[in-house]
Amino acid sequence: MEETRLKIRFFGDAGLRKKSHPVEAITASHREILNEMAKFMYAASGIGLAAAQVGINEAMIVVDSGSGLYKLINPRIVKKEGTQSMEEGCLSLPGICIKVKRSYKVTVKALDENGKDLYIEAEGLLACVLQHEVDHLRGKMIVDYASLWEKLKIKRQLNALRKKAQDDEELSKSGAKSCRLQM
Ligand code: ZN
C-alpha cells in the first residue's frame, strides 16, 4: 500500500455512525485530505471512500468507478429515478457483501475542491457508489439494508469486527474481499 496518513475505520467505530458536518469554507487542508483519500481508495482497490471512513466527520467523498476521479464536498442527492440492486462491499466492513436496492439514476449536487458548484448525473455503478458514500455521511452503512436473514448470517462477522475495531492492522491484512465492489 502506498504511504498515506489516513487510517480506515471499521464497523464498531463510533465515528462511522455520526453525521458528517458540512464543510463551511474549503481550505488547503480539505484539498489535501481529498488527495489523501483518493490515494487511499486506489491503494485499497476501492471505488469510493467517505471522509467518515478515515475518521474525519466532514462531508467529503471521493469516487472513481472507472470513469474518472470525483472529489466532492457537501454532496447531496437532488434527484432519483428507477431502481437497481448490486452486491456491495464496504472498506469499513471487510469480508461482508450485501445486496442493496438503490436508485438507478441520481443527480448529485456538490462542490468541487475549489468551491465550484457541480452537478453530476449518474446511472448504474456510478450512481450506486455515490449513494453508498452519501449514506456514509449520514452515518448509514450497508448492514442497515441487510435482511433479517442476512443479519443473522453476518452477525458473527460483525461482532468480530466490533471487537477488533481498534486492531486495524490485523483487519487490513485479513481483508478477505468477498465482494468485488469495495467502497
Ligand atoms: Zn462503505
- Examine the pLDDT at 168 and tell me if it is beyond 90: no
Give the position of cell 484539498.
Answer: 31
Q: Is 126 exposed, middle or buried (0-12, 13-18, 19+ CB in 10 A)?
A: buried
Task: Kindly state the average pLDDT of the residues 93-110.
Answer: 96
pTM of the entire structure? 0.91
37 C-alpha to center of ligand 1: Å? 13
Q: Does residue 32 carry a catalytic annotation?
A: no
Ligand 1 centre and the CA of 47: distance in Å? Answer: 10
**Long-range CB contact pairs, 114-119, < 8 A, 24+:** 114/26, 115/26, 115/73, 118/72
Q: From the candidates 36, 88, 113, 133, which is the catalytic residue?
A: 133
pLDDT score, position 175:
47
Residues, CB-to-ion distance under 5 Å, ligand 1:
90, 183
DSSP code of 67? S
* pLDDT tens, residue by residue, 18-31: 999 999 999 999 99
What domains, with CATH codes, occur in the chain?
14-174 (3.90.45.10)
Kindly report, residue by residue over 11-63, the tens digit of the pLDDT.
999 999 999 999 999 999 999 999 999 999 999 999 999 999 999 999 999 99
Distance 3 CA to ligand 1 centre (A): 21
The β-bridge relationship of strands 117-123 and 60-63 is unpaired
Ligand 1 geometric centre to CA of 132 (Å): 6
Q: pLDDT of 109-138, one tens digit each?
A: 999 999 999 999 999 999 999 999 999 999
Average pLDDT, the chain: 91
